[in-house]
Amino acid sequence: MRTHTIALIAPFDKQGKLLLLKRDANQHCGELWSFPGGKVEAGETPKKAAIRELMEETGLNASNWKLLGMHDFAYPDRKLNFLLFRCLCEDTEKLLCESAHVWADAARLHEYPMPEANAELLNMLSHKLTEL
């Protein structure tokens, strides 16, 4: 079974809304909503991967980076080691996404179908919202 370390980002705007991206139909867990992020590359720290992935997937820069926690999840064909970061995106005018996206109210995240692996990450996020 393949194992990957994944840096995920919970990017918030100045109004406290969270950016979600819709996964492409051809991707693992396609057509579901998730956080921006991706694999940590060799020689890269998880935080550097998070910063890079946020820029690659959204065109956004961020500040106030914080690691919220880690969570391991196994799908039948892969094991994923998630590191969830939160950050603040003050200049959302520069948002440039190829995928569908939404700035969602954190209290309404349950309305967006997400991969099974995100359940614990959402729980982790809800316990840390007061720290923004």
8: exposed, middle or buried (C-beta count within 10 Å: 0-12, 13-18, 19+)? buried
- The alpha-helical segments, DSSP class H, found in 7-95 are 46-58
Longest dimension (CA), the chain: 41
Give the CATH number of the domain where residue 92 resides.
3.90.79.10
Domain total in the chain? 1
101: exposed, middle or buried (C-beta count within 10 Å: 0-12, 13-18, 19+)? middle
Q: What angle do CA 91, 35, 6 make, to 5 degrees?
A: 115
Residue-number span of the structural domain to which 63 is assigned:
2-131
Query: Does the global pTM surpass 0.75?
Result: yes
Could you read off the pLDDT of 20-63 as tens digits, one per residue?
999 776 776 667 899 999 999 999 999 999 999 999 999 999 99
- DSSP-based three-state secondary structure for 15: coil
Could you read off the pLDDT of 57-88 as tens digits, one per residue?
999 999 999 999 999 998 888 898 999 999 99
